[in-house]
Amino acid sequence: MAKNEHTAYAYLRTTKKFPNIWCAGCGIGIVMGALIRAIDRIGLDKDDVAVVSGIGCSGRMPVYLDFNTMHTTHGRALAFATGLKLAQPKLHVIVVMGDGDALAIGGNHFIHAARRNIDLTAIVINNAIYGMTGGQYSPTTPLDMRAATAPYGHVEPPFPICELSIAAGATFVARSTVYHAIELDKLIEKAIRKVGFSVVEAVSYCHTTYGRMNKLGSSVDMMRMLKDHSITLAVAEKMMPEERAMKIVRGVLHDVDKPDYLTLYQKVIERAQATIDGKEFLRAGPGGLE
Amino acid sequence: MTVRLMQGNEAVGWGAIAAGCRFYAGYPITPSTEIAEMLSRELPKLGGIFIQMEDEIASLAACIGASAGGLKAMTATSGPGFSLMQEHIGYAAMAEVPCVIVNVQRLGPSTGQPTSPSQGDVMQARWGTHGDHPIIVLYPTSVPEAFELTVTAFNLAEKYRTPVILLMDEVVGHMRERFEAPPLEEVQVVDRMGTNVPPEWYKPFGDTIGDVPPMPSFGSGYRYHITGLYHDPMGYPTQRLDEINPWIERVQRKISNHLDDILMYQEENTEDANMVIVAYGATARSARHAMKLARQHRHHVGLVTLYTIWPFPEDVIQRIGRMARRVIVPEMNLGQLALEVERLVGRHKVIRVNRADGEMVSPQMILDAIEGR
């Protein structure tokens, strides 16, 4: 296959100078590839896709993608995306966040976007660390691990991203890893197709900071850990809870149907327009209410 | 022409609707809440969107997202919420996304006094976000002006691709006054400039047609990148000085080259005045009353009411400074805009009249200053 025939090339910005910002061996590029394959398979028009991100390594993804793209502030990507989706309902709005981005500074927006069930696709790339700022502990850093701000070991328990999403009201929740690239793109495809708030946790790693500080080896070693420590949902269901707790469980963890925010808000518009003074205002301006 | 009694906050809501606002995101906070309540009632009638977000940070973020999606968007808040919004005011300035932020001020700092008036956010409105960027801040003194200046705020935001702040006093927000509603078709409305160049030629932050680049909405076929990082004309992050400096200069220029369009003020009795009061908001009403009383006592007192406080109308204040022996600056704070006036006319000429205890500056306080008491 010639270089420019690769699926990804049709979705990358030719005007943006590569190489990308990520460290060699990083998993974020794999998530970007999976996202592109998912969009390609669904056959979405590039004009109808928006990718919104926050701040951090993952926040840099949209700039490479030839869609409507927005690189917002730390933790607030979902709030920006909410406004964009409500203004342009035809857009498929995909929000790419890191774990610190989505769950620490953005934790409030995350649970409320899920509660509202606004039709967004949230991809949380979980590397359990703040990579861009140099490896400080995040809300998903496991207990006892080391980080730039946990030199004596981490004492806070981690947030389980998928369980949190389900509890907060997301309609579709799935998890995979950057080792399982093909599985990941299938899950992202399902998430985009789902009407409602959908979450895909893409478990990744940061060999540059977390891996180095915890002596976990190279990116290849960390990739192998994702392979060895993860299991499918079918396998997990046969396991004892304590055994399962040590594993990364992959697959669709939650999939329910309920009306999304915009569908319900349409009812608000219909009810409001049925009132008389609304029509009066349209005719005569603010004074027309009298 | 319909005449009715209207509240200042309500007038802001109607002004937004008249200006074409079809998106409101906000978080309840006294004394601004009536704006949200009336828009939650009226926007859906027009097919518009009202959403109550989880906090003020999210509120302004949603407005910026909606504006990128092509809707005119507004949020309204008060001191604590305004503090939370600062990062996104900076983002809107950096990404050049039009939006309107209303701050019905309360007495601060912190939770302060939610139902008492104050003009304590004057400097925060100018310098609240980190970094350098221009900002437009408008300030009504009455209910009809709350309507008019909200329309103007949207028009300037759209015209210059910038966030515009409407600062208002609690007393104006909650006051009810006679309001003559103009027919909607008579309200002058400005929409952001679109483009019809082929998408591959479009530069979202270019200067090919002037200092304000056109802004097609997301989803319209122009796929571009918006970021809070310093960016090149295509919107892509840059660290190159030859791309950062032109951006800084263009964004400053788009405001500083259009001061005639942006600066609004009113002069009364300044022709023969040897003392001039410079005031804004509800304080300008006290100042007008004080001026009338002083003139009855044969003091040659004039009044400059500022409707645009940022950018600061330097030329008019400098002219006043050359003409007047004393410049009186009454404010419901401990002296904020007085700093600007002092910078332009000299400290020795300025008499500050301040109070920041949740009560209005009374005409008598200003009269006392005029009469040297």
Closest-CA distance, B326 to chain A, in angstroms, reads 43
If DSSP codes are grouped into helix, strand and coil, which group holds residue B369? helix
Interface residue B347 vs chain A (CB under 8 A): no
- SS3 of chain A: the string is CCHHHCHHHHHECCCCCCCCCCCCCCCHHHHHHHHHHHHHHHCCCHHHEEEEECCCCHHHHHHHECCEEEECCCCCHHHHHHHHHHHCCCCEEEEEEEHHHHHHHCHHHHHHHHHHCCCCEEEEEECCEECCCCCEECCCCCCCCCECCECCCCCCCCCCHHHHHHHHCCCEEEEEECCCHHHHHHHHHHHHHCCCCEEEEEECCCHHHHHHHCCCCCHHHHHHHHHHHEEEHHHHHCCCHHHHCCCEEEEEEEECCCCCHHHHHHHHHHHHHCCHHHHHHHHHCHHHHC
Contact B91 A281 (CB under 8 A): no
Q: Which chain A residues are Cβ-neighbours of B17 within 8 angstroms?
A: 281, 286
pLDDT in tens, chain B (373 residues): 578 999 999 999 999 999 999 999 999 999 999 999 999 999 999 999 999 999 999 999 999 999 999 999 999 999 999 999 999 999 999 999 999 999 999 999 999 999 999 999 999 999 999 999 999 999 999 999 999 999 999 999 999 999 999 999 999 999 999 999 888 889 999 999 999 999 999 999 999 999 999 999 999 999 999 999 999 999 999 999 999 999 999 999 999 999 999 999 999 999 999 999 999 999 999 999 999 999 999 999 999 999 999 999 999 999 999 999 999 999 999 999 999 999 999 999 999 999 999 999 999 999 999 999 8
**pTM beyond 0.95, yes or no:** yes
Q: Can you list the domains of chain B with their CATH numbers? A: 2-186 (3.40.50.970), 267-370 (3.40.50.920)
HSE-CB at B169 with a 13 A cutoff on CA atoms is 28
> Based on the number of CB atoms within 10 Å of its own CB, is B41 exposed (0-12), middle (13-18) or buried (19 or more)?
middle
Residues in A touching B68 (Cβ below 8 Å): 68, 70, 80, 83-84, 87
* Domains of chain A, first to last: 3-256 (3.40.50.970), 259-290 (no CATH)
Distance (Å, whole) CA A280 – CA A286: 9
CA–CA separation, B88 and B133 (whole Å): 13
- Can you tell me which residue has the tokens 């409105």? B125
Tens digit of pLDDT for each residue in A2-53?
556 788 999 999 887 788 999 999 999 999 999 999 999 999 999 999 999 9
Residue type, B360: M
ipTM of the complex: 0.97
Q: Which of A49, A55, A76 to mutate to test the interface with B (most CBs of B within 10 A)?
A: A76
